Every structure is written in structure tokens, then in C-alpha cells.
Amino acid sequence: MALAALFANRAANPGAPPHISVAKSAPKAQAPPPSISEYIDSEANLQAAVDRSLDSRLVILAFVVSFAPPCDAALANIQTLQTRIDNLEVVKVDCASLKGSLIADGHGIEATPTLRFYVGGKQVHTMTTISQDLIHPFVVKWSKKAQSTR
């Protein structure tokens, strides 16, 4: 905290210690966005996720590196879409972990982030360049196709 802010806080709140800010009003809590499922750590769990696409769902396998900003941005874009699309499920494979790297190698993943779209138990699309503008049309298109598989 800047020195001027410490003095201003002290003057406004004489009883408070100088290093503690006293909030005038608490900010309103926002509901957290729906969370993307945990990381897949085995081929069996990955296959179970793909199998869920048989139930009129669009399943996106996100091959990411947990500490990479482009991967974080891609996941944030997908998380935003999850608030609007009911039949979207996203599962992650952390390519930086030993188990995740073995899974990624087995699926021929060469770059992160890589998104693989599954509908009806089959891979229907792969994306490696990911931005909100690019991913949104594909997610909408494939989620509608997944709904029509009933």
C-alpha cells in the first residue's frame, strides 16, 4: 500500500492499524461461472468423457498446459460459452503432467492449447488457434448437431 494511502486510511479510521484498510462497503459477490471439470489422468477417463458425447452432448477435450497463458485464455473462452450452452462438457488434459503428456502423445497432440470436439462418440473437429471469435461459431454449430443426435 502506498504511503499516502496509509496516511489517508489512518486519518479516516483513527482506531485501525495503519496497514489495514477499512472497506466502506463490501463489493457484491458474483456467482462463479460454471467450472470446467478436473483434469483427465487416464485413457479410461478420457474414453468415458468421449462416451458421454453419445448422450446428445458436445464434449470438448482441451489439451492444455496448466501454467501457460494461451491455455488459460482458451479455457476462459470455453468457460464463458458453458454459461450459455447446456449440452457442452469440457474436460482437460494437462500436457505438463506425466500422465497428461502420455495421453497427449498417444493422441498425436503437437501443440497446446488443442481442442478436440466430440459428438456422437466421434471426433468431429480439432482447433489449435483459439480465440472467442473463432471458437464460438464452432461450439454453437457442434452443440446443435449433438442435440439433433437424439
Considering the domain architecture, whether residues 25 and 47 belong to the same structural domain is answered as no
- Total of domains in the chain: 2
Considering the domain architecture, whether residues 54 and 119 belong to the same structural domain is answered as yes
Considering the domain architecture, whether residues 70 and 93 belong to the same structural domain is answered as yes
Considering the domain architecture, whether residues 10 and 47 belong to the same structural domain is answered as no
Distances (CA, A) of 26 to 2, 22, 29, 61: 21, 10, 9, 38
Considering the domain architecture, whether residues 92 and 57 belong to the same structural domain is answered as yes
Residue 128 domain-assigned (yes or no): yes
Residue 121 domain-assigned (yes or no): yes
Considering the domain architecture, whether residues 1 and 55 belong to the same structural domain is answered as no
Q: What is the pLDDT of residue 137?
A: 84
What is the pTM assigned to this prediction?
A: 0.71
Q: What is the pLDDT of residue 110?
A: 92
Q: What is the pLDDT of residue 43?
A: 92
Report the 3 state secondary structure along 23-48: CCCCCCCCCCCCCCCCECCCHHHHHH
Q: What is the pLDDT of residue 150?
A: 60
Residues of the chain short of pLDDT 70, as ranges, are: 1-37, 150
Q: Which domain holds residue 108?
A: 43-147
Q: Which three cell numbers stand for residue 65?
A: 498446459
Q: What is the pLDDT of residue 23?
A: 47
- Domain holding 103: CATH number? 3.40.30.10
Residue 37 domain-assigned (yes or no): no
